[in-house]
Structure 1
Amino acid sequence: MNIIVLTKVVPDIERVKFDAARGVVDRSSAPQEINPFDLNAIEEAARLKERHGGRVTAISMGPSDAEQALKDTIARGVDEAILLTDKKFAGSDTLATSYALSQAIKAMGDFDIVICGEKTVDGDTGQVGGEVSERLGIPYLPYTSRLDYEDGKFKARVELENMIYEVEASPPLLVSVTKDINSPRLPGFREKLNARKAQVKKMDAKEIEADEGLLGFNGSPTWVYKIEVPEEGQRNGRIYKDPERGLKEIMAVLESRGLI
């Protein structure tokens, strides 16, 4: 089975700082790591390989210094990691990103399944998976919480709002997985050591035969108009010794705010 997993290197969201003056995330303010949602995608790819045999390739797009963080995918069961890095990729929105990723997948040849996390912690759009599947012309199963392979077909549980769907699909297809699908493994010392010695393959826009007009700022119709950092509010605690009085005051506050 030829498995491709899409990953993104992001700053540690718990330590990263926001540059309010420039309206951007200061990515240099925190260590880089694999997007937490992508760890579930990597784990599911590794489990498919272990059950059915095959090969797992991780593809990521980012600056050249993302190489070290990307080696973590190898420690977690990936056979080869590919980093798409080129100044022409700079400023890409989800549409331009999906184009670059889909071109890299096409350059690899035949595959059975592409797996990605449902979203990234820095962008939180959840759009790239669906856009990549559209560009590749293959079925897309979003928000997948269970994935099996049997008799030449993938069987998935897809959770959309109030509905749960049991779906069968023939390869090739693209699946975005939720955090409920598995618990990502922790690499051991030997896996980390082997990953440190591994080479991350780098590819630029020319190698994936990309149209430069569809990359970076040129291929990104999305523009951020304004970013605001909300002030942290404080809770006003109150203790009511008289339940009836307390209930009346709570109802009055909810009514004044149009909540009931």
Structure 2
Amino acid sequence: MNIAFSPCPNDTFVFHAWVHRLLEGAPELNVTYADIDKTNSWAARREGPEVMKISYAALPYVIDDYELIPCGGALGRGCGPLVLSKNGGADPSTLAGKTVAVPSDKSTAYLLFRLWAAQKIPEGPGKITVMPFHEIMPAVRDGKIDAGLVIHEARFTYKDYNLDKVADLGDWWEEDTGFPIPLGAIIARRSLGMKAPLTEWIRESVEFAWANPDASMDYVMEHAQEMSQEVARSHIDLYVNEFTRELGEDGYAAVESLLGRAADEGLIPAFDLQKLRD
């Protein structure tokens, strides 16, 4: 079976057992490691592997052809994207008319930024530029851009770049809605017709990872893009949680809230929310 997910520690931790054929009865995986911007694009073009990790923000564009697998993704509390600036403090109004770099314009992070900015920056930011996420903090530090939207391990390292946190979009979302924040989703082609077994295999892989937390560390660090083991473990602890094992009613409600609200604001195409569960 062909699958694509990121080389980030949460994904390699989750899929380690399946990738290494430690699950009885699960098919062998052919893995493509790709950042979420690439998998979002592949899904939009109906290309790429049958199973992929994409952004929840990209799901409305592909929901007719791909089904949401209710485990293996990233959704939780205290794990949202950050808006950073240099010497900017925590006043969102300082971003009015400014240039902001984002890692993708089809990401959940960007969708949250748009919802947050509509509420907090009535004048609106200025230019939005898409930039690989690992280049954003250096660009803000060096004054090439005014602010950046960052994800993943950047929440642990942004102070190393002498940057200030303008907003934690996860905190804002939780305060505004009471829901956890949906980030990344596992999807499979509907034509594959394997939602039930895929859910079982991914859940078994998650549970194996939790039961054997050190077993995956060599694999995790092999793909961890030069981050320290301490940062990798913090990344896993933050992004792999009960919603990874089972989306559940709270998880579905969070996704429906995010995508329904974004559709109402005209930020994504409107669609039948029931398709998230079908």
- TM category (shorter chain) comes to under 0.3
TM-score, normalising length: structure 2: 0.25
Report 1 or 2 for greater relative contact order, CA contacts < 8 Å, sequence distance ≥ 6. Answer: 2
Q: When the two structures are superposed, what TM-score results if normalisation uses the length of structure 1? A: 0.27
Higher strand share: 1
- Which has the larger share of helix? 2
